[in-house]
């Protein structure tokens, strides 16, 4: 084992792991306000990536396409909230689990019909040329993933801490009923969290697609790892998902290099099983784990 | 200022309130007393919208509000400092106070400046909170949390304030402090509906009082009148 290769693999993998962290962060946003998550989040990543690809193919420059993609993701997040979550939560039920899965399947079919079943390349102006940083080569593309993920998470965390609307978001997570007594609409806050979560999913799609290509099946690989990260890191710590995401990404990259690419998915699954075995109720709360 | 007529409300099939009627005039302090389980807290929740009333009317400053969302009723000028205080534990003392004024502050920036005068007023009323502005509300003592809950309700500059069991779970010396605060709020002309288990202390500060039994008002009157009522004397003021 060559230490410089290990370092190279670990760093590359860790940067990719930030995409899992970002998707898991999307879970955290909606869980905070509504104790619900979108089980079709992977499909949301996928349709947003396809939509962004279409914008690019229509001739929109990369930097103009990004806000369009984020807006689309936010709107799809609102669709999920309205169609899959709100009624179930009003009835204090857990119907949102099945409903969000179904909406995800709907997105999947829609994508297959609209864009076809093939994986397609996602053009980007960011070059794949490596730059040399303390003994390892990092491509600009990989670096863009890290910058994008940390920028949007940082922006959302700043929003939560510095603006009154953000503090209202935190108040609803802390005590929904008391927040209502302050004149804060919990329903609107939940909508906001789903909108943000959708935008975050769209950015994950835009960042990862130039590296992995876009296809209807890209959701399943991403979502499982995002779940692993969310379960291990918990659903309240943004810092936690970043650390766990990078760790899982590094582990995957090393596993696929040393054991063969078929083993790439293994660390995520092992991590998920371990986390659930050590904390059998899981951090999702009992109801969710019971039904997953 | 606040009129409640024939209010029915409950949890699921069990009806706790079976026709409560009361009113609070502008600038007065009205106490609602009664045994545990009589429906005092349910009355408060049905007024502020945490619980949808099955029947009856709630009129706030001339406007019917029954059946509206709690957040809407709060924006119309009702501040409810709920039973158990319900401060936002992970947020700082000052953030809790700022959120109390949520409905009339700018949502993004400049909200702290807009709220400066109200913050100072609350800090003057509760100097202990001024020393702890950055501290997480969940780490305050019970008495401090109660002060924060009252201060948070004040921040809204409400037309009517509901205070539910402000002395619950507090040491006797702190309870006295809470009652001193309530007296001051009254002197400032704030319209208050107070639910209390310490009936005697509540009647000392109230202008008018209602005694609740099994989901409806059993007796009402000025504290002096209630003090002469033998049934009330025996049951609540003994």
- Return the pLDDT at A284: 44
Model confidence, pTM: 0.91
Distance from CA of B86 to the nearest CA of A (A): 6
A281 pLDDT exceeds 60?
Answer: no
- Return the pLDDT at A286: 39
| Residues near A131 by beta carbon (within 8 Å), at least 6 away in sequence | A137, A138, A139, A140, A143
Does residue A87 belong to the interface with chain B, where contact is any CB pair within 8 Å? Answer: no
**What is the mean predicted confidence (pLDDT) over A97-112?**
95
A227 pLDDT exceeds 50?
Answer: yes
- Return the pLDDT at B21: 94
Distance CA A257, CA A261 (A): 7
- Return the pLDDT at A290: 41
* Cβ A271 vs Cβ A232: under 8 Å: yes
Around A289, how many Cα atoms within 13 Å sit in the side-chain half-sphere?
16
Beta strands in A79-204 (DSSP E): 130-133, 136-139
Q: Number of A:B CB contacts under 8 A?
A: 85
B44 pLDDT exceeds 90?
Answer: yes
Mean pLDDT is lowest, of A196-200, A230-234, B141-145, B175-179, for: A230-234
Does residue A158 belong to the interface with chain B, where contact is any CB pair within 8 Å? Answer: no
For chain B, give the mean pLDDT: 93
Q: Residue A130 — pLDDT band, cuts 50, 70, 90?
A: confident
What ipTM score was computed for the predicted complex, to two decimals? Answer: 0.92
Does residue B151 belong to the interface with chain A, where contact is any CB pair within 8 Å? Answer: no
Share of chain A above pLDDT 70, in %: 95
Q: Residue A261 — pLDDT band, cuts 50, 70, 90?
A: confident
Q: Buried (b) or exposed (e) across A49-80, using 16+ Cβ within 10 A?
A: bbbbbbbbeeebeeeebbebbbbbbbbbbbbb
- For residues B137 and B228, the model is more confident at B137
Around B214, how many Cα atoms within 13 Å sit in the side-chain half-sphere?
0
- Return the pLDDT at A291: 40
A202 pLDDT exceeds 90?
Answer: yes
Q: Which residue of B has its CA nearest to A171?
A: B88
Suggest the residue from B49, B69, B98, B102 to mutate for an interface test with chain A (most A CBs closer than 10 A).
Answer: B102
B33 pLDDT exceeds 70?
Answer: yes
Selection from A101, A122, A136, A125 nearest residue A5 by Cα: A136
| B60-72 residue pLDDT tens | 999 999 999 999 9
Share of chain B above pLDDT 70, in %: 99
Does residue A181 belong to the interface with chain B, where contact is any CB pair within 8 Å? Answer: yes
Selection from A57, A44, A56, A93 nearest residue A200 by Cα: A44
- Which helix (H) or strand (E) segment is B57 a member of? strand B55-60
**What is the mean predicted confidence (pLDDT) over B193-200?**
91
A101 pLDDT exceeds 90?
Answer: yes
* Cβ B124 vs Cβ A178: under 8 Å: no
Q: Which residue of A has its CA nearest to B45?
A: A181
Q: Residue B4 — pLDDT band, cuts 50, 70, 90?
A: very high
For chain A, give the mean pLDDT: 90
* Cβ A237 vs Cβ A278: under 8 Å: no
Distance from CA of A288 to the nearest CA of B (A): 24
B95 pLDDT exceeds 60?
Answer: yes
* Cβ B39 vs Cβ B16: under 8 Å: yes
A213 pLDDT exceeds 80?
Answer: yes
Does residue B48 belong to the interface with chain A, where contact is any CB pair within 8 Å? Answer: yes
| A150-193 residue pLDDT tens | 999 999 999 999 999 999 999 999 999 999 999 999 999 999 99
> Which residues in chain B have their CB less than 8 angstroms from residue A185's CB?
69, 71-72
B11 pLDDT exceeds 90?
Answer: no
Q: Which residue of B has its CA nearest to A168?
A: B99
Distance CA A183, CA B101 (A): 9
């Amino acid at each position: 084992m060559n230490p410089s290769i290990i370092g190279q693999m670990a760093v590359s993998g860790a940067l990719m792991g930030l995409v899992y962290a970002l998707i898991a962060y999307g879970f955290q946003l909606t869980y905070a306000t509504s104790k619900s998550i979108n089980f079709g989040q992977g499909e949301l990543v996928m349709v947003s990536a396809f939509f962004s690809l279409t914008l690019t193919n229509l001739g929109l420059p990369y930097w103009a396409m990004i806000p369009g993609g984020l807006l689309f993701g936010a709107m799809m997040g609102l669709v999920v909230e309205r169609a899959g979550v709100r009624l179930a939560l009003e009835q204090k039920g857990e119907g949102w689990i099945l409903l969000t899965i179904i909406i995800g399947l709907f997105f999947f079919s829609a994508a297959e019909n609209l864009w076809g079943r093939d994986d397609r390349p996602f053009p980007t102006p960011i070059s794949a040329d490596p730059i040399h940083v303390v003994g390892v080569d990092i491509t600009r593309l990989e670096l863009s993933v890290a910058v994008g993920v940390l920028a949007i998470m940082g922006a959302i965390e700043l929003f939560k801490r510095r603006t009154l609307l953000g503090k209202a978001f935190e108040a609803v997570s802390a005590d929904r009923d008391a927040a209502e007594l302050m004149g804060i609409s919990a329903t609107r806050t939940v909508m906001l969290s789903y909108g943000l979560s959708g935008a975050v999913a769209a950015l994950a799609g835009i960042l990862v697609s130039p590296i992995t290509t876009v296809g209807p099946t890209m959701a399943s690989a991403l979502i499982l790892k995002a779940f692993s990260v969310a379960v291990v890191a918990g659903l309240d710590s943004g810092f936690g998902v970043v650390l766990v995401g990078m760790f899982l990404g590094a582990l995957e990259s090393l596993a696929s290099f040393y054991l063969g690419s078929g083993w790439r998915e293994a660390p995520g699954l092992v991590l998920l099983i371990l986390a659930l075995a050590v904390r059998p109720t899981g951090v999702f709360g009992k109801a969710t784990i019971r039904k997953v | 200022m606040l009129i409640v007529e024939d209010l029915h409300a409950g949890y699921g099939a069990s009806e706790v309130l079976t026709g409560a009627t009361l009113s609070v005039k502008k600038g007065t302090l009205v106490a609602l007393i009664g045994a545990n389980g009589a429906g005092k807290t349910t009355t408060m929740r049905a007024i502020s919208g945490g619980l949808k009333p099955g029947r009856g009317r709630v009129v706030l400053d001339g406007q019917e509000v029954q059946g509206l969302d709690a957040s809407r009723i709060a924006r119309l000028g009702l501040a409810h400092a709920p039973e158990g205080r319900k401060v936002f534990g992970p947020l700082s003392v000052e953030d809790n106070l700022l959120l109390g004024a949520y409905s009339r502050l700018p949502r993004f920036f400049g909200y702290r400046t807009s709220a400066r005068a109200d913050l100072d007023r609350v800090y003057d009323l509760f100097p202990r909170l001024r020393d702890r502005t950055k501290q997480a509300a969940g780490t305050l003592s019970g008495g401090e949390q109660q002060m924060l809950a009252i201060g948070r309700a004040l921040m809204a500059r409400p037309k009517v304030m509901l205070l539910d069991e402000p002395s619950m779970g507090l040491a006797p010396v702190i309870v006295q402090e809470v009652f001193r605060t309530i007296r001051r709020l009254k002197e400032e002309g704030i319209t208050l509906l107070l639910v209390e288990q310490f009936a005697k202390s509540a009647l000392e500060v109230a202008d008018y009082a209602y005694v609740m039994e099994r989901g409806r008002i059993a007796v009402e009157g000025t504290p002096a009148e209630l003090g002469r009522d033998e049934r009330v004397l025996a049951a609540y003021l003994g």
